[in-house]
Amino acid sequence: MAKILLKGNEAVVRAAIEAGCRYFFGYPITPQNEIPEYFSKELPKVGGTFVQAESEVAAINMLYGAVAAGARAMTSSSSPGVALKQEGIGYISKAELPAVIVNMMRGGPGLGSIQPSQSDYNMCVKCGSNGDYRNIVMAPGNIQELVDMVIEAFDMADYYTNPVVILADGLIGQMMEPVEIKQPEVKREMPEKTWALTGKNGGEPHRIINLNLDANELEQVNIELFKKYAVIEENEQRYEEYKMDDAEYAFVSYGTASRIVRSAVNELRNEGYKVGMIRPLLLWPFPEKAFEGKDHIKKYMDVEFSMGQMVDDVKLACNDKHKVEFYGRAGGVIPSVNEVVDFAKKVMGGAQ
């Protein structure tokens, strides 16, 4: 298929429909409004349904119903709206249902700003609802990745019967790039949705449970969930290594921030610095494998659009917090390449 020029938010819709998503539930919030708007235009053409929910709380609970009914469905929002969805995400995680949730992050806390940000890492990767659970979190760095990840997210959600969060930011949502909409490279054997609410049709009733009053029973539920998470941690660590072969210093950065870091790496390389970048493509499971066998790295330089959230995972993954330096801008401010280069030079000293 030929490449087409798409804005990030529109690309989400095109990719989701390609993946067979036929239901969307959402509530307006900048900077992701094109997603519900475009869905409301496109879904009726493919026999799907768009519902503008009365709130993000309602939207996530509609999604809970739709995925429990066996459909491919999604919701999207931006930071304050995703905060409201947390309870529902916890319910979907506990019920082990497949759902796709897009977060086009904006500056926070509170109402914050409408500028792009990465300050929902903790909410989405560490999981902001009550209880022990994990969501698969994907971090696209360009529009092609966004498309590929949205399409794969539906497969992953079905395969692991688990929510998948696409954690992007306002810049990804608004920027335009040429993309190709194609089926995922990884073909998975999809389990049949025998648990779906379809009416019992002469058989046993389907029951989707969220309450276990017996503590031992609930502990067992947790243990089973974590067995599944262990499989995901083993199978789904994904990252890109950029100019890491001979690197002595490594940036760690994801999403839009990694685009700036990539330019900074190029500039520093031109000046003779042996520097590269580890870019997590999935934030959970965090790509710990990327840090294995890298004892020679003198410093990790974590760059985020936040006051520092992923940096905690980098410290854990490299197993030496003294090796980790952080640079970030918050509230929707985007650092320039020069700022990142200056930060790196301070960290590396004269180590060309």
Partner 1 sequence: MAVLFEKTKGMTDVKTHYCPGCTHGIVHRLVAECLEEMGELDNAIDVSPVGCAVLALNYFNFDGIQAAHGRAPATATGIKRVHPDKMVLTYQGDGDLASIGMCEIVHAAARGEKITTIFINNGIYGMTGGQMAPTTLPGMKATTAPYGRDVSLQGYPIRVCEMLSTLDGSKYIERVAVDSPANVIKAKKAIRKALETQKAGLGFSLIEVLSTCPTNWGKTPVEAVKFVKEEMIPYYPLGVYKDSTKEEE
**Taking the CB of residue 167, how many other CB atoms lie within 10 A of it?**
28
DSSP 285-300: S--GGGGTT-TT--EE
**Pick from 270, 271, 268: which is nearest to 303 by CA?**
268
Whole-angstrom distance, CA of residue 5 vs CA of residue 177: 5
CB atoms within 10 A of CB 224: 11
Between CA 352 and CA 349 the distance in angstroms is 8
Binding of residue 221 to partner 1 (CB under 8 A): no
Give CA–CA dist 281/261, Å, rounded.
Answer: 15
Contact status: 53 vs partner 1 (CB under 8 A): yes
Among 210, 220, 336, 338, binds partner 1 (CB under 8 A): 210
CB-based contact 297:249 (threshold 8 Å): yes
For the four alpha carbons of 245, 251, 256 and 259, in that order, the dihedral sign comes to negative
CB of 83 to partner 1, least distance (A): 15
47 binds partner 1 (CB under 8 A): no
Smallest gap from residue 70 Cβ to partner 1 (A) = 7
Q: Which two tokens stand for residue 31?
A: 């900077």
- Touching partner 1, residues 96-155 (CB under 8 A): none
| List of residues 6+ apart from 123 with CB closer than 8 A | 79, 82, 83, 86
Q: How far is the CB of 107 from partner 1 (least distance, A)?
A: 27
Q: Which 147-206 residues touch partner 1, going by CB under 8 A?
A: 197-202, 205-206
Among 30, 69, 263, 337, indicate the residue that binds partner 1 (CB under 8 A). 69
Interface with partner 1, residue 309, by CB under 8 A: no
Give CA separation, 175 vs 170, 179, 236, in Å: 9, 12, 27
Rounded to a whole number of angstroms, the minimum distance from the CB of residue 185 to partner 1 is 29
The region of 2-10, 47-55, 186-194, 337-345 touching partner 1 under the rule CB under 8 A is: 47-55
Check residue 62 for interaction with partner 1 (CB under 8 A).
yes
Per CB under 8 A, the segment of 27-35, 50-58, 166-174, 253-261 that binds partner 1 is 50-58
* Smallest separation (angstroms) from partner 1 to the CB of 110: 21
Which one of 29, 63, 74, 283 is in contact with partner 1 (CB under 8 A)? Answer: 63
* Chain contacts with partner 1 (rule: CB under 8 A): 23, 25, 49, 51, 53-55, 57-59, 61-71, 73, 87-88, 91, 95, 197-202, 205-211
